[in-house]
C-alpha cells in the first residue's frame, strides 16, 4: 500500500496495490500495522469504532459535514463506482485553514482518504451508483453535527456534474461564514 501526503495538512491518500489475474482482483483495503507506522501512533488504527456505507445515484451530493467538539477522524473509500470527494480544512490553527482539495475515489484504483478531525467532508457521485464506505473513530452523536452548504458561494466548490439530489438537511445547512463562528 502506498501512502501519500496531500496539499491539506494531515490528510493522507492510501492506495493499495491490487493483485490482478484472469479471475479479477484481490486487494487489501486497510492495514492497521502500516497505518499505525505511517501516522506514528501505535494503536491509532484500533481507534476506529464504526464502519458505515452510503449508496448514491449520479449527481447526488452529500455534504459538507463535520463534527464539533473533538471531531472525528475517518477513512473514506469508494467501493463501487466513482465520487468527487471534497475536503475543507476548518481547523483555525492549521496552515491550510479554509483551503479545500478534491480527490477522485473509485472502485478501480481503490484510493482512500484519511481525514483527521477538523475537516468538512462531502462528495458527488460520478456514476449511476456509488457506494462510499467510512471507517470512523467515534460513535456518531447527532448533537455534534455541523455543516456548511454544499453550494455556498464563499466555498465555491466546483462540483464536476450537475447536482441532481441533495437531502433536505444538506439544503438547510448554514453558510461558511456561519460555520466559522462555531470553529473559531
84 noted as active-site residue = no
Q: Are 112 and 29 in contact (CB under 8 A)?
A: yes
Task: Give all strands (DSSP E) within 18-144, no chain letters.
Answer: 19-21, 24-26, 50-57, 61-67, 74-80, 82-89, 100-106, 112-115, 119-125, 129-136
Q: Choose, from 65, 84, 114, 121, the residue flagged as catalytic.
A: 65
Q: Choose, from 84, 114, 121, 134, the residue flagged as catalytic.
A: 134
65 noted as active-site residue = yes
- Strand 100-106 and strand 82-89: pairing? antiparallel
60 burial (CB, 10 Å; 0-12 / 13-18 / 19+) is buried
Q: What is the DSSP letter of 154?
A: T
**Helices and strands in the chain, H and E counts:** 3, 13
Residues belonging to the active site: 65, 134
Amino acid at each position: 500500500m502506498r501512502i501519500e501526503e496531500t496539499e491539506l495538512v494531515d490528510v493522507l491518500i492510501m492506495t493499495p496495490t491490487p493483485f490482478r489475474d484472469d479471475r479479477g482482483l484481490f486487494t487489501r483495503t486497510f492495514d492497521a500495522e502500516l497505518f499505525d507506522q505511517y501516522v506514528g501512533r501505535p494503536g491509532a488504527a484500533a481507534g476506529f469504532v464504526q464502519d458505515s456505507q452510503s449508496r448514491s445515484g449520479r449527481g447526488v451530493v452529500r455534504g459538507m459535514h463535520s463534527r464539533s467538539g473533538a471531531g472525528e477522524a475517518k477513512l473514506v473509500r469508494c467501493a463501487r463506482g466513482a465520487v468527487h470527494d471534497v475536503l475543507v480544512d476548518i481547523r483555525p490553527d492549521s496552515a491550510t485553514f479554509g483551503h479545500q482539495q478534491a480527490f477522485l475515489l473509485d472502485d478501480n484504483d481503490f484510493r482512500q482518504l484519511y481525514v483527521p478531525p477538523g475537516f468538512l467532508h462531502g462528495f458527488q457521485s460520478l456514476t449511476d451508483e456509488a457506494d462510499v464506505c467510512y471507517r470512523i473513530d467515534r460513535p456518531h452523536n447527532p448533537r455534534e453535527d455541523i455543516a456548511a452548504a454544499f453550494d455556498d458561494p464563499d466555498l465555491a466548490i466546483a462540483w464536476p456534474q450537475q447536482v441532481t439530489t441533495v437531502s433536505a438537511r444538506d439544503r438547510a445547512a448554514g453558510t461558511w461564514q456561519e460555520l466559522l463562528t462555531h470553529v473559531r
